[in-house]
């Protein structure tokens, strides 16, 4: 159980375009989902906390107008990278937990974004 599905697994886009990444909890409801970004040989950095039915909470230094998060239902959160630039190229991973704050996070398979 506790499966998180993320799509697409990789995407290549041109500079200036927007990319949408979907994150679904397949067998549980998630009122909260988390979006992480990981650059090569670095650790996961929390970008934002996605809350169902309300605005996302962004970490310091993460531009909310550039990384749009929508958590429209208890099983789906989307991250849209707007006006992408080569420096946005990274590994984006979503996660969720079926229980409350003490339970572990389960991760999607990640999305490798390359902006040319």
Beta bridge partners of 12: 114
Residue 61 C-alpha from the chain's centroid: 16
Window of 14-22, 45-53, 71-79, 82-90 that interacts with another protein by CB under 8 A: 45-53
Residue from 5, 49, 70, 80 touching another protein (CB under 8 A): that is 49
CA–CA gap between residue 86 and residue 15 (Å, rounded): 7
Nearer to another protein, 74 or 105 (CB): 105
Among 56, 108, 113, 115, which residue interacts with another protein (rule: CB under 8 A)?
Answer: 108
Complex with another protein: residue 17 or 103, whichever CB lies closer: 103
- Report yes or no: 12 and 114 within 8 Å, Cβ to Cβ: yes
């Amino acid at each position: 159980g506790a499966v998180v599905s993320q799509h697409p697994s990789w995407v290549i886009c041109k500079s200036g375009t927007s990319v949408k990444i979907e994150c679904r909890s397949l067998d549980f409801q998630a009122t909260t989902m988390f979006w992480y970004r990981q650059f090569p040989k670095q650790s996961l950095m929390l970008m934002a906390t996605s809350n169902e039915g309300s605005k996302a909470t962004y970490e310091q230094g993460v531009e909310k107008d550039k990384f749009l998060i929508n958590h429209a239902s208890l099983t789906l959160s989307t991250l849209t990278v707007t006006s992408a630039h080569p420096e946005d190229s990274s590994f984006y991973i979503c996660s969720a937990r079926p229980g409350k704050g003490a339970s572990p996070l389960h991760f999607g398979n990640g999305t490798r974004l390359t902006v040319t």
